[in-house]
Structure formats: structure tokens, C-alpha cells
Amino acid sequence: MLRMSEIVELSVEEFSSFIEKRNDKNFYQTSFMAQMQEERGFKTVYLGLKKDKEILAAGMFMLVDTIAKQKFLRSPRGPICDYENFEILDEFTKAIKAYCKKNKYFMVKIDPYLMLNKRDNEGEIVEGENNLAIRDHLLSLGYKELNYSQEEKWLYILPLTSQNKESVLKNFKQRTRNYINQAIRLGVEVKDVEYDELDEFAEVMKETGNRQNIAVHNQKYYQLLYKCFNDKVLFKKAVLNCEKSLKILEDNKTEVATKLEKAKKESLINDLQNQAQTLDKKINELNEVKNKYGNEVTLSVSCFIDYGDEVIYLNGGNRDELMKYHGSFLVQKTMIDYAIDNGYSRYNFYGLGSEFPNDKESNGVYLFKKHFSGEVYETFGEFDLAASSFYKVFNLAKKIKNKIKK
């Protein structure tokens, strides 16, 4: 029997049972993510702070190899713990440090999935709402704040509590509502991406990565995500059926022509003639799209996780020349509606990049997500807790390596 709290290895059943009861659970801290990391070649372990058979805190930890055959533990978006209970936090810190020393891990890296400072749509701090006391307590326990997260420190969140579809849509920027309506009027549809369609999904993501000069995952990664997360992961695409859309445009053109025949005022005639010219241009452009891509065209792709109290927009991409059809905006609206229909308390647009907020005026990802009138969400980021003197050697080696790269 345990006379005092102690870090012990948990079975997947113990860990999952603990996690599923928590309001602060997140998809990184699941057996699904552990399975995925194992498939990618990483070793994982479930650790829990136990006292008299009760689990007080728990996390999925990855075992990370470094130089000189040294290893450390990393808990992505974890561990799951009542961080406001400093007694538990103190016990966890003492126990995990002892566990690391016993098992020869030179540090543990944690990444609490908590808001550090509440911020508004512009990323400005909202006074009086923060968890700085928790941050300060972590520092007092010997943790080192890195102000960075491998899982994105800066997020963009749309709160959904006490909201409905109409109120959410009303809060979108006017331009955003226009884009969504344009896509709907043209007949753009949002469809599921099946497993055997992930090759196209990965292809569109690759195009996006090349255009934006950012690294993206390959097809194998998305296949693994699909298999490991099962019904918790949703792959979506915005699709344009050219024949259907051409029919809509031709009908619009016929309607304009009928009005033009009856028009008497010169101003109305000019307006209708301009509408007809615009429709002709759209029809010609759409015929070119059909000739290049075929009848059914994928405009954009997106990947979502629904878990805990949120739906997360993990990542997405667009075909550059087809962005004018606004498929990505319709996908977001569709999934926000899904989150509301299924009772989720927030819609998580996910990351804003490591340079935020310094680059917010030129950050295309932030500017896109800002269209939906949410708020910037600053997480704690990663904290290191050294368990041996090798931690200093490791950090020195990293600094030297970074200088060489520059």
C-alpha cells in the first residue's frame, strides 16, 4: 500500500478512466494520441500521482532521446491536474522529480492546457482574468518557463456557451458572411473525406505548404490520425460541382436577361448589363476550372478533432487559384454549426504560429481566423523541471547548435 503520494505507471485502462471523468481533458492526453506516437516510433508511458489508490493527477508522457544516450519525459498538453490545488501540484512536482531521478531521466517537460492571460480578438490582454498565480507557483517549485509550446502556445478560440447559430453568424465580420453566402449561392458543398481519399487531402495540404513556405504532414500522417482517432477525427472538404454551379450561373444570367428586356431606366439597364458581363466572366472561369480539374473539384480540405468540450480545427489547406470560391469559409461555418448542434462549449481554430503576437499585422493565419470574431487564447506554454545536472549540459549543447545553424 502507498503511504504517501507517489508517481506510478498506469495501465491504459486506469489512465483512460481517469481522463474521461475530467472536464479539463484534451485530445493530446489520450490513449489515441499515445497509440499514434507509438506508431510514429516514439515510446510513451502513462504516469499517475497516486495516493491510497486514488489517482490525483495523470499524464501521457513521451520518452525523448537526446545526446549522450540521455532521455527526458515530455507531456504534450499535460499532465491533467487541478493546477489550482497547489497541494496536489507540490506533491506531483516532488514525486515526478523523484521518478525521473530513479529512472535516469534528466528532466520532465510539461505543457499545461490552461489559459495564461485572457485576451480579446486583437490579442490584447483583458485585465483581471488570468492564471498568473499558477504560473508563479510553478516557477517557485523550480520549473523553468520557456514561453513556447511544440503544440502551439497561441490559439484562437470561438466561445459557444449561450450562443446559437444565428448569434454566432451575426458576429462574423460582414465580409465573412458575404463569402459564406457566395459559396452557398454557387452550390459549394461540404463533404466528408474518406480514408481512400486522403491522398488528395495530402496533395492539397502539400500545395498549401509550398505556397506558404511551411512544413506540412504527409499522407501517412493523416492515415495514422484517421486510424488512431477513429470517430474523434473528422476530415472535410469543400467541393464545387461545376455542372451544378454552371446551371446556377446560367439561370442567373437568364433572369438578368429577362429583367433587361423590361428595363426602362438607363441606370438599371447599365446595372443589369454589368451583372450579365460579370456572369459571363464567371461562367468562362468555371468552364476553365472544369476543363482543368474535372466536374467535381475539391476547393479546400480541413482536419478536425472533436474531444472534451471543444471542436478543434487542426489544420487545413486550399487550392490557390480556387480560393475565390470561398470553400474554406463554408467549411468553418459548417463545423461551427456542428459544434453548436452537439453541445460543445467552444470552437478551437487552433494555432496562430510561434511568432504571434509580434507578427499579427502580417500573420495570414491569424487574419483569416479573426474573420470569425473569436478571441486569442494564450496558453501556458512549456515548462522544464530539471532532475539532474545534465539539464545544463543539454541546454548548452542546444545553444551551440543554434548558433552554428545561424
Q: What are the structural domain ranges in the chain? A: 6-150+380-405, 158-240+293-378
pLDDT at 182: 97
6-150+380-405 and 158-240+293-378 have identical folds? yes
Listed residue (281, 328, 255, 210) closest to 289, CA to CA: 281
Cα–Cα distance measured from residue 176 to residue 173, given in angstroms and rounded to the nearest whole number: 5
Q: Which residues of the chain have pLDDT under 70?
A: 1-3, 406
Cα–Cα distance measured from residue 235 to residue 298, given in angstroms and rounded to the nearest whole number: 13
pLDDT at 1: 40
3-state secondary structure of 238: strand
Q: Which amino acid is at 222?
A: Y
Listed residue (117, 124, 91, 120) closest to 380, CA to CA: 117
Listed residue (52, 54, 53, 33) closest to 44, CA to CA: 33
3-state secondary structure of 180: helix
Cα–Cα distance measured from residue 48 to residue 10, given in angstroms and rounded to the nearest whole number: 6
pLDDT at 2: 43
Record the pTM. 0.93
Cα–Cα distance measured from residue 151 to residue 42, given in angstroms and rounded to the nearest whole number: 16
pLDDT at 406: 64
- Considering only the top CATH level, what class is 158-240+293-378? alpha beta
pLDDT at 394: 95
Q: For the domain bounded by 6-150+380-405, which CATH number is listed?
A: 3.40.630.30
